[in-house]
Amino acid sequence: MNCLVVYAHPLKKSLCGSLFEVVAQALADNDHDCRFADLYEADFDPRLSGTERASYYAAYDNSGIAQEVRDLEWAEVVVLVFPTWWFSMPAILKGWFDRVWAPGVAYDHDANLGAIKPRLKKLRTVVAVTTLGSPWWVDRLVMWQPVRRTIGTAILRSCAPQARFFMLSLYNSERVRDNQFNIFRAKLRHTISRNLR
């Protein structure tokens, strides 16, 4: 499978960096064809520009993100590895969605500005791997899982409704114990090895 791995943490030596290594190894073990997009390393600018916004309802000008567009259109699997800050994506990853998951790439506008039309027909699986400081019950019972809803419901149902979505959240990440982290990594390895088909 064509697998695009998006990494959105400013440091490589971090819990997310360690989870990225697990993903890369599991994909290699299963002989998938991989592309890696380390957004910080690539100096990706997450700000949808004035030119992009002005062309959003005409012919979207994606000339500033040509490589990112090619990678997304190529992908059958997308794996996202990122920290959750304030119960939402870090700015650099939000901007990747704002700019790259755009008209003519990820979806098409409806002629009457009704529901948008999916365009990522090749995309079969999306795996979101994230760390967050809060305990599980705040994310689920107080916040109603805003990251899961944003990616899994709002974005994927609009752009790739056929894709399966897996979300793996490492809670209490600021004080996670070694054995808990090892269990999480094993679960991640298992998810990647079993579900990409």
DSSP per-residue string spanning 10-49? S-SSSHHHHHHHHHHHHHHHTT-EEEEEETTTTT---S--
Interaction of residue 90 with a second copy, rule CB under 8 A? yes
Nearer Cβ to a second copy (90/118)? 90
How far is residue 17's CA from residue 11's CA, in Å, rounded to a whole number?
7
Interaction of residue 179 with a second copy, rule CB under 8 A? no
Q: Supply the DSSP symbol for 85.
A: B
Angle at 44 between CA 26 and CA 154, to 5 degrees: 70
In single-letter form, the type of residue at position 123 comes to L
Nearer Cβ to a second copy (97/191)? 97
Return the residue matching tokens 């943490």: 9
Nearer Cβ to a second copy (30/172)? 172
Tell me which of 127, 155, 163, 192 binds a second copy, using CB under 8 A: 155
> Least separation, in Å, of the C-beta of 106 and a second copy?
10
Interaction of residue 11 with a second copy, rule CB under 8 A? yes
> Least separation, in Å, of the C-beta of 146 and a second copy?
4
With a CB cutoff of 8 Å and minimum separation 6, the contacts of 3 are: 27, 32, 33, 34, 35, 75, 76, 77, 78, 79, 196
Interaction of residue 118 with a second copy, rule CB under 8 A? no
Secondary structure E strands in the chain? 2-7, 33-38, 77-83, 107-108, 117-118, 125-131, 164-170
Nearer Cβ to a second copy (53/117)? 53
> Least separation, in Å, of the C-beta of 190 and a second copy?
29
Tell me which of 63, 88, 193, 195 binds a second copy, using CB under 8 A: 88
How far is residue 112's CA from residue 128's CA, in Å, rounded to a whole number?
32
> Least separation, in Å, of the C-beta of 184 and a second copy?
18
Binding site for a second copy (CB under 8 A): 9-11, 14, 40, 46-50, 52-54, 57, 85-92, 94-95, 97-98, 101, 113, 133, 142-144, 146, 149-150, 153-155, 174-175
